[in-house]
Structure 1
Amino acid sequence: MIAAPAAPVWAQPSAGAAQTVPGSADARLKALYDAEWDWREKEMAREPGEDGRGATADHLPRVDAATQQRRLEYWTNVLSELGKIPRDQLSPEEKINAEVFETIITAFVNDIRFKTYEAPFNSDSFFWTDFSPREGFQDADEYRRYLGRLKDVPRYFAEQTANMRAGLARGFTVPKVSVTGRDKTIEPYTKADETNPLYVPFLQMPSNIPAAEQERLKAEAKQVIAQQAVPAYTELLSFIRDEYLPKARTNISASSLPDGKAYYQAMIEKFTTLKLTPEEIHKIGLSEVARITAEMEATKKKAGFNGTLGEFRHFLKTDPQFYAKTPHELIAEASYWVKKADLKLKDTIGFLPRFRHGILPVPEALAPIYTGGRGGLESCLFNTYNLPARPLYTLPSLALHECTPGHSFQGALALEGPPRPAFRNATYFSGYGEGWGLYTEWLGTVMGIYETPYQEFGRHTYEMWRAVRLVVDTGIHHYGWSREKALDYMKANLALSDHEITTEVDRYIAWPGQAVSYKLGELQIRRHRREAEQALGPKFDQRKFHDAILQIGSVPLPVLEERMKQFIADGGENPPMTAAAP
């Protein structure tokens, strides 16, 4: 047996004040990121929460151009101060914190430098729904803070609208094709009654709030929604329909925007945390498409299908046996796969969090333009809109990726994992997080999740989906592909419905660079596993391997690379883990 290393680098508690020598590089770094975090929480309208998660304040953040420029100056100065701290004098743990911190702040600076706040939504994520909760709150104080945010909606929307007008003036907008139809997501919020999504938290209030106080809060909510929120939403709806949509850009390439090539490269680096060019990513995508196509052919034969791959995709997309008849059936099927994954966790991952997520349908107002599913700490969402577009053979992969042991599981681990600086607990790098999510789809083959060749083909379909993103995203934003060419390429390679493919392409158009992070992160994690298996042989334990990835938390992929080298050097053992307080 190889002893665990005595100098725990990756999973020990953050150095506290008593452990840090005043004036040392560690102390200077800690003072810098702690001060920035306190400042950022106030700027983003957050306040400390008792359970370690930030609580939303009684107002919404400022987003006006003057505030954005003030933030740019602050974060630019932070980077300057960070550059003065000698990295070679930092402890191993603080070197990680420094890399994470620098990557985060650089992304903030680039977002403001390119004025991305002038296009503050995309094809399926909207600022007008971001603060609309899925469920109720835990106590009266949370309800009162929520009412404060609703009262702030008119000011917040006015600032967002001013930003969008500035974007229109310089040609920096969400593409018209990604705006079309999205105005309908605003409509439910213009109703001055209990059907307004903003009223959802008041439909089921916790019993710890006295009945009389519940009635007072409900009455105030109805008044605030009707008199302040609804007029603001109505005005926003008119702006989007009458001014923004008619003037939104018709070209879809990020490279065609002001300083577009630099903007697209910055977005690639933001989401992947890698220094790859669009050309390199496109080439990787084409290689992966070819590899996965060969695996699809083998699985088609396993299913006993004698036609071509195209004919097999058509069969899967059109045969009624592969589709739920009711929303409940789809949710029930998804629940089965999540619980099957739960059963296998003890053999897959060492540290298991206590926090559990629920399973809910995507809210009705968002469902028509939303993805098939999305993970979250509190709940994992599945889309029950347009059931003929939601194949059941992809549900196992979707459940693994979005729920367990994917994103919802990751969220619980972040909540209960090793203590680390506050800014780290709120960090999410798409290359790491989405890379892990896609890796768990493949991991399902090791866990014994997939039961039929059709479900295995569903996994291939989802992996191919992420591979074609490398080609399509760079095709659109670097090589100038049309929307039609992107749609045709995806339809030729995927057994997804036309509805899902269209929704996805419009998402890539509106969100440059994000889509390429999944496959690049997954490829790196699978490479690390091959390297560890080869180097460690019979000493390789996948539970420890996964713990090594998950315990470090969300980090840039180059940091994960170094962690995996250390894992192998340590003989496949991890330092003792100290969990955060529940």
Structure 2
Amino acid sequence: MQLLSRVLLLVFVAFVPASAAWAGDEIGPGQQFREIYQSEWKWRGQELAGASDENGFNDSADRLPQVDPASQQRRTAYWQDVLGRLDKIAPDRLQGRDRIDYLVYRQQVETLLDRQKFRAWEMPFNSDTAFWTDLGYTARAPIRDAEGYRRYLHLVAEIPRYFDQQIANMRAGLARGFSQPAITLAGRDQTIAEVAAARGEDNLFYTPFRAMPPGIPSAEQAQLRDQALKLIAERVRPAYAGLLKFMREEYAPKARTTLAAELLPDGRDYYRAQIREYVTADMDPEQIHQTGLREIARLRGEMERVMDEVGFKGRGPRTRFADFLQFLRTDPQFYAKTPSQLLQQAAWIAKVVDGNLGNYFGRAPRQRFTIKPVPDDIAPFYTGGRGGIDTYWLNTYNLPSRPLYVLPALTLHESSPGHSLQMSLAAEDTGLPDFRRYSYLSAYGEGWALYCEYLGQEMGIYTTPYERFGYLTYQAWRAARLVIDTGIHHKGWTREQALAYLRDNTALSEHEIGTEVDRYIGWPGQALSYYLGELKILELRAKAERALGAKFDIRAFHDEVLSLGAVPLPVLEQRMDEFIADGGKSPWADKVN
């Protein structure tokens, strides 16, 4: 997820005055801690109600969040107060699950404060994700009753205020050199232009009214539709037109010409904070870069063995790898002819995986996912696929850039046992606090999803040499991110260097190479989470296999990883040591967590 993610939304929430003291001599540290996070989580949800993304959280809100500087300062003060309270609790005095909860929760609060410290709200979009495209998920979310439609209309009415605040923030960012690089902006305003131009029932924000629930009386349906059309004409389209004018005439001309995050204000500290957020550990950029180089070299050897297996010669030894990549990028046998064919093939793979889950997992979620094409308005700049708790979004735009041989790996990652299964199990585990059930930590979530691509080998999902090569090229794609992200943001690489590195080491299409590199330029650190997360899970699995020997049960291991909700990698490692010491039992067998 990407979603995620790009950053998955935290469900946000009633201000508790900073002056409220905790009676440390009256209640124990565990109760103190629980009161802190329960109050803050509720406050967080109220603060950011209405923010949304492809996973559909907060789609029932009746307002959009306040994002002006005064609101940001208030949030900063609140989270600083929360962190001060946490400092007064000794973690070693906590018992049972509270010990893990404390480590997870503290990392969340520190990450939120890092965002506030660097005024991240002044750059509220990147080449992958934007506050205006996030509203598209709200517009497409199902609405079940008349009250839901009234909440939706109230939220839509807030778009002009919300956009004005975002524009003011972006102006402040431009003034201090804190902006997206100009090179990544080309064409990104199209998603704004389409909403600004679309009239009446053709507008994105009319989507929920095209098929309304039959339980709503026809007269009330008509009234709600009229209100929607009025809001689209008087508030939505003018707001999007104003944002479009700002982006084209002010933001793009003044955006920075540099690429590196380390060249932003306080750039070295900012990039290091981005690494901490997405990797959930403090790592040196040079160390990450070298890890990527080593992994690319290892994966190249595995890819060449597959080329030997299919007997590919190419023009000669010096060009054989490049020739094979060109063959994969251009031969029609590897590409769907229609969007429906691509979607149907993904559905077939997902069903084959479904029949295999019982051999690898002790528990499956009740939640099921659907497969949908990425909406047309965002597809040109979107990734090949993205998964959430209930939807696997598959990009059917530009079919010659969507090879079938990578579809098994993509499906394992984005749906099950990747994002959908992991997020569903977390959401269904009512024994976890909400900040672990519904939050998303990229190294854990993306690391798990990438590990699921690895697991596809054991599950027998890759049935041809080309699909095995597709798996390997997807692994190389994520390993290359370690090199490219640190290359751009730490070592000063150009966009052309990054494009060439991804082109030379993976079978990604030219279209995907361009959108991916722009994503890494505009979203520092996020790309590091996938491969580093997978490496940690593989390391912990190998450690458990060695320590437990014949007692090792792959289902119990997976249950242990998935039982944690979303946790930083150091917490995952700590919990896995306890899993080994406990004899490798599934945590869901006896509810140990």
Deviation at 1:420, TM superposition (A): 1.6
CA distance in 1, matches of 2:115, 2:443: 17
CA distance in 2, matches of 1:469, 1:55: 32
1:470 paired with 2:477, answer no
Deviation at 1:577, TM superposition (A): 5.5
Q: Larger deviation: 384-393 or 136-145?
A: 136-145
Matched residue SS, 1:380 = strand
Could you tell me whether the CA contact under 8 Å between 1:417 and 1:578 is conserved in 2? no
Equivalence for 1:16? none
TM alignment of 1:75-90, pairs within 5 A = 75-90=79-94
Equivalence for 2:293? 286
Equivalence for 2:15? none
Aligned-residue identity in percent: 52
Matched residue SS, 1:186 = helix
Amino acid at match of 1:168: L
Runs of 4 or more consecutive aligned structure 1 residues displaced over 3 Å after TM superposition? 52-56, 575-579
Change (3 A) 1:534 1:137: same
Equivalence for 2:425? 413
Change (3 A) 1:395 1:21: farther
Picking from 99, 102, 105, the partner of 1:101 is 105
1:57 paired with 2:64, answer no
Could you tell me whether the CA contact under 8 Å between 1:338 and 1:403 is conserved in 2? yes
Picking from 521, 530, 535, the partner of 2:547 is 535
Amino acid at match of 2:508: L
Matched residue SS, 1:131 = helix
TM alignment of 1:34-433, pairs within 5 A = 34-45=38-49, 56-133=60-137, 134-190=140-196, 191-307=198-314, 308-433=320-445
Deviation at 1:21, TM superposition (A): 11
Picking from 512, 531, 537, the partner of 1:519 is 531
CA distance in 2, matches of 1:325, 1:63: 44
Deviation at 1:576, TM superposition (A): 3.8
Matched residue SS, 2:211 = coil
CA distance in 1, matches of 2:233, 2:296: 52
Amino acid at match of 1:45: A
1:487 paired with 2:499, answer yes
Instruction: For structure 2, list consecutive stretches of 5 or more residues without a partner in the other structure.
Output: 1-23, 315-319
Deviation at 1:141, TM superposition (A): 1.8
Change (3 A) 1:412 1:578: farther
CA distance in 1, matches of 2:159, 2:525: 30
Amino acid at match of 2:302: E
Amino acid at match of 1:461: T
Could you tell me whether the CA contact under 8 Å between 1:389 and 1:499 is conserved in 2? yes
Deviation at 1:575, TM superposition (A): 3.2
Equivalence for 2:508? 496
CA distance in 1, matches of 2:489, 2:59: 37
Change (3 A) 1:418 1:448: farther
1:565 paired with 2:572, answer no
Q: Give the TM-score taking structure 1 as reference length.
A: 0.93
CA distance in 2, matches of 1:204, 1:135: 12
CA distance in 2, matches of 1:269, 1:225: 41
Q: Larger deviation: 443-452 or 529-538?
A: 529-538
CA distance in 2, matches of 1:304, 1:418: 53
Could you tell me whether the CA contact under 8 Å between 2:271 and 2:525 is conserved in 1? yes
Deviation at 1:404, TM superposition (A): 0.9
Instruction: For structure 1, list consecutive stretches of 5 or more residues without a partner in the other structure.
Output: 1-19
Q: Larger deviation: 458-467 or 20-29?
A: 20-29
CA distance in 2, matches of 1:187, 1:26: 52
Amino acid at match of 1:367: A
Equivalence for 1:10? none
CA distance in 2, matches of 1:577, 1:213: 51
RMSD over aligned Cα atoms: 1.7
Deviation at 1:26, TM superposition (A): 0.2
CA distance in 1, matches of 2:378, 2:393: 11
> Cα deviations across residues 411-457 of structure 1 (Å, max 9, x unaligned)?
21122124221222221100000000100000000111011000000
Number of positions where the alignment pairs a residue of Structure 1 with one of Structure 2: 556
Could you tell me whether the CA contact under 8 Å between 2:426 and 2:564 is conserved in 1? no
Amino acid at match of 2:574: E
